[in-house]
Amino acid sequence: MLALFVRFGARAAVFSALILVGCASSAPQLISKSPTVPEGVDLSGRWVVRADSRAGRSQMDGLQEKLVVTSRSQRSRRQKGSSDGSAQVFIEYGESLKISQTDFGIFISYDRSVVEEFTFGENRLVTVGPIEARRVSGWEGKSFVIETLDDSGTTLFESWHLDSDDAVLIRDIRLSKGDEESFSLRQLFDRT
């Protein structure tokens, strides 16, 4: 009887381990981005949002107001009822931008009040108050890409690139969970 228990117990342990590995691999993961700036790409400059892109401000403000957080326990309760998670608190907006690019990173100043700093090739934990998320940033082709993943599996994707004559800066923003996209916005900025 003991031999039978050991034999089936070992199989059950292996089966359980396989299930745990399968579940762990299905959790959303962020893929690191290239730290190497593509030749000839420089997003530096002063930029102003086009009038037809200003409507995005009210969309983003409404999205951020969905999550009001004062403690981790409230955050946990709130996320269970919210499909948007907490990644949207990492969205910044400005009608005028100043971008400074170095060989190793980029600084984006929104309306002279908020400055975001990103290191090319970074993969780290970022926080806003009690909210934590995993972030990667770097280059995909000629686009600077930032992806932020919160603990609910919600991903904020941002892409910045120049048009063909480097006169227009294009910013694409998407918020999604799995295959379901809950927010999408394209902004165009003209060089000043």
What is the CATH number for 133?
Answer: 2.40.128.20
pLDDT at 162: 98
pLDDT at 115: 94
Torsions phi, psi for 30 (to 5 deg): -100, 140
pLDDT at 88: 73
- Is 4 domain-assigned? no
**Phi/psi-derived region of residue 166, left when phi > 0, alpha when psi is between -120 and 50, beta in every other case:** left
pLDDT at 18: 44
Torsions phi, psi for 130 (to 5 deg): -85, 0
- Is 117 domain-assigned? yes
pLDDT tens-digit profile, the chain (192 residues): 445 444 545 454 444 444 444 444 566 899 999 999 999 999 999 999 998 876 655 566 555 544 333 223 333 433 433 445 677 788 898 999 999 999 999 999 999 998 999 999 999 999 888 889 999 999 999 999 999 999 889 999 999 999 989 999 999 999 999 889 989 999 999 999
- Is 121 domain-assigned? yes
Domain that residue 86 falls in? 33-191
- Is 175 domain-assigned? yes
- Is 1 domain-assigned? no
- Is 18 domain-assigned? no
The number of angstroms, rounded, from the C-alpha of 98 to the middle of its chain's C-alpha atoms is 20
Q: Per residue, what are the HEC states of the chain?
A: CHHHHHHHHHHHHHHHHHHHHHHHHHCCCCCCCECCCCCCCCCCEEEEECHHHCHHHHHHHHHHHCCCCCCHHHHHHHHHHCCCCCHHHHCCCCCEEEEEECCCEEEEEECCCEEEEEECCEEEEEEECCEEEEEEEEEECCEEEEEEEECCCEEEEEEEEECCCCCEEEEEEEEEECCEEEEEEEEEEEEC
- Is 139 domain-assigned? yes
- Is 14 domain-assigned? no
Count of domains for the chain: 1
